[in-house]
Amino acid sequence: MRLVGPNGEQVGIVRVEDALRLAAEADLDLVEVAPMAKPPVAKLMDYGKFKYEAAVKAREARKNQVNTVIKEIKLRPKIDPHDYGTKKGHVERFLSAGDKVKVTIMFRGREQSRPELGFRLLQKLAEDVADLGFVESSPKQDGRNMVMVLGPTKKKAEARAENRRRREQQEPAQAADAAPSEQNQPA
C-alpha cells in the first residue's frame, strides 16, 4: 500500500500493518484514498476533519449551482396584436433575466385543423426575440397544444450581474436628482 503522510508528503510503499501502526502512533486515522490504484493509496489523516471538509465542499458546490427556471407563456392562435406585444414583453423580460421560456399555443375546436397558424405565430415570436434568446426546442404539436422552448443567450449569473450594475448606476442618479429639489424648497 502506498502511504501518504498527514501533510501530503510521500511516506512510500509500506505493509498495511506498518501503516496502521504509524496511524496509531500519530493518533490519526488511516483512510484509503484510491482503492483502485496499483498499489492502493492510503493517507494518514483525521477522518472526522476529512468528512467535515467534504461536506463543506459539497455545500459550496450546491450553493454555486445555478437552478434553471422554465417560465411558461400561453397564447392562442388568434391573438390580438396588443396582447401579442404584451406576451412578447413578458418573454423578453424572462429571457433577459436568464430564464428559459416555454411558449405554448392552445388550440380549441376547429383551430386544431390549422396548426400552421400556431407554427407561424411561434416562428414570429422566435424572430422577434432573437437578440435575447434562441430556439432550444422547435415547435412541436402536443395534443391540443403546440410547444416551443426558448433559451436565453446569456446565463443567469450574467443577467443578475448586469441588473445589479444597472440598479447601482440608477441609485446615484436618483439621489443627485432629489438633492437639488430639496435646496429650492422655501424654509
- All structural domains of the chain with their residue ranges: 2-48, 70-156
User: pTM above the 0.85 mark?
Assistant: no
Q: Which pLDDT does position 148 carry in this prediction? A: 95
Query: Does residue 140 or residue 66 have the better pLDDT?
Result: 140
Helix axis angle for 115-128 and 81-96, nearest 10°, is 50
**H-helix or E-strand spanning residue 166:** helix 156-183
Give the mean pLDDT of 82-108.
Answer: 93
The CATH number of 2-48 is: 3.10.20.80
Q: Which pLDDT does position 61 carry in this prediction? A: 84
CATH top-level class of 70-156: alpha beta
pLDDT at 131 over 70: yes
Give the mean pLDDT of 105-128.
Answer: 92
The label of the residue with cell 404539436 reads 141
Contact indicator for 149, 102 with CB cutoff of 8 Å? yes
Q: Tell me if the bond preceding 39 is cis, omega within 30° of 0.
A: yes
